[in-house]
């Protein structure tokens, strides 16, 4: 119960961290560090049991001690129990007072219990602190259970790597392996580092990274990522990234730091508590002082007691711990599904989404372009057209370039290609065998004033111009992702008002994809800067406070992802650009995960507001009962501890 709202509930990824006491790496942390990080259960129980024994002894012998010359023994017994159960609250209140934080939950409990002792209600004072201590124990157990749950979900950090040397396999820490070293991953082992498979075939379990249960087939030439689990065959892997730069390290760092970004609700509660606590203190002072002065027959002792009840029930512990714990659980629950949310503020923003904007290629379509037709013109042959296009595209990494090279199927002599230059948003220009070759879209033809008859083609067309003469076009087709239509339907069921698709592709292709998916609005033939302008225009037209989400592949859409209210990187497993730029990272290629992320966000927000309404409602009732003299301190402390525990148990539902 003694928590500081200014400090987020951070998750500490204990596995593999350096032990504070001995400087060694340990899986799961050592017991000594675990005690320092969380709390010492045996120590808590020792204080509680000792206080209960003294409290019980004091209650049994209270009348005897009170009516004898040994009355001081009554104070000794009860005050000992009081200090055993409440020393932490008193110490924290004094420490915060020295820092200028006069009003907080520790101050409320300290003032209430010291006041009870002053009017000789010592059993009540001890009872408040004792129940408070028991409640704190249960709260610590709940918080640590949530932390352990998230740790278990994210326990994807590999423990070792089998480093391949000239003569043997040597087991080393992943941090000791360098780029271009060779490692061997045996069946059943975690992939320790990102790399390229040189030998072997296997199935890998990616569920820890992506939330997907279906194993993925991996073979020679494929990229493999740290945190995956090798299921069947042995692999030899060339390491491509240091461990500190690997996917698993980036994911752990992202989730660990997510709780530092607070949601508006958390910031509201922080501000609310700053004003709420002093109001409660001065309100209790008014309850204690004013009625005895203005109401006939009222006594100070009676109204001071009522004021103490008010202080006890007004403690805002339930709000202070359950709200950040709820968001913490929501972020952890999303991570289990392969959805990484960089902060509670982004989780909250997802609940207000009205417009979802998708990039087309690589987001709603697979981005697996294949050449379906080669259409020559003006005397050029098909094989000549394909050879010229492949030669010009040999230095490009664009998916269309790769598909043309794959269709050509032969090695391109680099000496034949010179002066290759990209034309942003249009294509490229190169010198092939001394001839000037242009490869690109219809916009490129208009830019260079090349006469041509074909403009609109079903599919993506790469037009060729050789020495300023139109040579024909190559049609490249892209497939729509299997769950893309389901994603659009799910978003509309969730109440998303408008779905938009942005593409640099032709209008004919973009319109065809939009029609098949049921997308409301599409914009075609856009340059990267045009996509940013489109998002800005949508924001200007949005007047109801609804959030705009942009979903892209996280590599070439970084400017748009950064500009949207919530930027989502799709299929970003292993993409540094995506993890750096996006607010939400979906680790698979499934666009339907976005609807799942919005659902998790709404459920989390619902749980948070349930806790707020429940806590304030119960406290309001008991404040009224305390002022009119019906509720006692015993009932107040039971209500306070009870509502705090219920709120925390409710908050842990977000994890599931």
List of long-range contacts for 450-459, beta carbons under 8 Å, 24+ apart: 452/377, 454/375, 456/506, 456/507, 456/508, 457/506, 457/508, 457/509, 458/508, 458/509, 458/512, 459/372, 459/373, 459/509
Q: Which two tokens stand for residue 499?
A: 């779905």
Which residues are annotated as catalytic?
359
Distance (Å, rounded) from C-alpha 162 to C-alpha 425?
45
Distance (Å, rounded) from C-alpha 512 to C-alpha 501?
12
Q: Which residues neighbour 576 within 8 Å (Cβ) at sequence distance 6 or greater?
A: 245, 250
Q: What phi, psi does 306 have (nearest 5°)?
A: -65, -35
Q: Could you tell me if 175 and 183 are in contact, meaning their C-beta atoms sit under 8 angstroms apart?
A: no
Eight-class DSSP state of 479 = P
| Residue 599 burial by Cβ neighbours in a 10 Å radius (0-12, 13-18, 19+) | middle
Distance (Å, rounded) from C-alpha 320 to C-alpha 276?
12
**Residue 384, CB half-sphere, CA atoms under 13 Å: how many?**
13
Distance (Å, rounded) from C-alpha 202 to C-alpha 221?
12
Cα-Cα end-to-end distance for the chain: 23
Tokens 């915060």: give the residue. Answer: 96
| Residue 390 burial by Cβ neighbours in a 10 Å radius (0-12, 13-18, 19+) | buried
Distance (Å, rounded) from C-alpha 65 to C-alpha 74?
6
Other beta carbons within 10 Å of 166: 4
Instruction: Name the helix (H) or strand (E) containing 419.
Output: strand 417-423
Of 276, 268, 258, nearest in space to 323 by CA: 268
Q: Could you tell me if 322 and 611 are in contact, meaning their C-beta atoms sit under 8 angstroms apart?
A: yes
Quickly list DSSP for 172-189: E-GGGPPTT-EEEE-TTP
């Amino acid at each position: 119960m003694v928590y500081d709202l200014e400090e987020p509930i951070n998750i500490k990824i204990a596995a593999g961290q350096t032990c504070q006491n001995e400087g060694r790496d340990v899986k799961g942390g050592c017991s000594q560090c675990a005690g320092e990080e969380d709390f010492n259960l045996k120590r808590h129980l020792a204080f509680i049991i000792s206080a209960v024994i003294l409290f019980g002894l004091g209650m049994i012998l209270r009348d005897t001690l009170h009516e004898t010359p040994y009355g001081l023994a009554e104070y000794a017994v009860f005050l000992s129990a009081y200090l055993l159960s409440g020393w932490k609250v008193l110490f924290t209140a004094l420490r915060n007072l020295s820092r200028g934080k006069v009003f907080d939950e520790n101050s409320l409990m300290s003032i209430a219990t010291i006041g009870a002792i002053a009017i000789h209600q010592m059993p009540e004072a001890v009872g408040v602190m004792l129940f408070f201590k028991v409640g704190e124990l249960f709260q610590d157990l709940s918080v640590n259970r949530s932390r352990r749950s998230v740790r278990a979900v994210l326990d994807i950090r590999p423990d070792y790597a089998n480093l391949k040397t000239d003569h043997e396999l040597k087991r080393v820490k992943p941090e000791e392996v360098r780029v271009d070293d060779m490692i061997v991953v045996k069946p059943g082992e975690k992939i320790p580092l990102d790399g390229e498979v040189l030998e072997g075939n296997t199935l890998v379990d990616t569920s820890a990274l992506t939330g997907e249960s279906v194993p993925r087939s991996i073979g020679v030439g494929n990229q493999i990522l740290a945190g995956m689990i090798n299921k069947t065959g042995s692999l030899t892997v060339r390491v491509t990234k240091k461990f500190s730069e690997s996917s698993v390290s980036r994911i752990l760092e992202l989730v660990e730091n997510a709780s530092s970004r607070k949601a508006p609700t958390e910031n509201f509660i922080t501000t609310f508590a700053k004003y709420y606590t002093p109001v409660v203190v001065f309100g209790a002072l008014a309850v204690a002082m004013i009625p005895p002065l203005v109401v006939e027959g009222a006594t100070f002792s009676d109204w001071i007691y009522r004021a103490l009840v008010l202080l006890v029930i007004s403690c805002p512990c339930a709000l202070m711990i359950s709200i950040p714990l709820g968001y913490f659980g929501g972020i952890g629950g999303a991570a289990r599904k392969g959805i990484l949310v960089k902060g509670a503020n982004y989780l909250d923003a997802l609940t207000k989404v009205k417009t979802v904007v998708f990039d087309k290629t690589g987001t709603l379509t697979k981005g697996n372009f294949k050449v379906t037709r080669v259409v020559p013109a003006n005397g050029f042959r098909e094989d000549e057209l394909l050879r010229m296009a492949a030669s010009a595209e040999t230095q490009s990494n664009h998916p269309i370039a790769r598909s043309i090279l794959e269709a050509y199927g032969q090695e391109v002599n680099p000496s034949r290609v010179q002066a290759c230059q990209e034309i942003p948003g249009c294509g490229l220009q190169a010198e092939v065998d001394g001839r000037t070759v242009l490869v690109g879209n219809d916009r490129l033809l208009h830019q260079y004033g090349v006469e041509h008859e074909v403009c609109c083609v079903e599919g993506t067309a790469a037009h060729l111009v050789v020495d300023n003469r139109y040579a024909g076009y190559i049609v490249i087709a892209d497939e729509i992702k299997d769950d893309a239509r389901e994603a659009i339907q799910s978003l509309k069921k969730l109440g998303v008002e408008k779905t938009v698709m942005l593409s640099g592709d032709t209008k004919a292709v973009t319109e065809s994809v939009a029609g098949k998916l049921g997308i409301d609005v599409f914009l075609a033939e856009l340059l990267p800067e045009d996509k940013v302008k489109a998002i800005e225009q949508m924001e200007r037209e949005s007047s109801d406070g609804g959030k705009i989400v942009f979903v892209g592949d996280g590599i070439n859409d970084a400017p748009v992802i950064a500009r949207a209210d919530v930027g989502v990187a799709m299929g970003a497993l292993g993409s540094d650009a995506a993890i750096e730029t996006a607010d939400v990272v979906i680790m698979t290629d499934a666009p339907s995960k976005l609807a799942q992320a919005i659902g998790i966000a709404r459920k989390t927000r619902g749980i948070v507001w349930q806790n707020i309404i429940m806590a304030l409602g119960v406290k309001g009732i008991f404040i009224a009962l305390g002022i009119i003299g019906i509720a006692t301190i015993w009932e107040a402390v039971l209500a306070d501890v009870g509502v705090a525990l219920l709120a925390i148990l409710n908050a842990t539902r977000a994890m599931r």
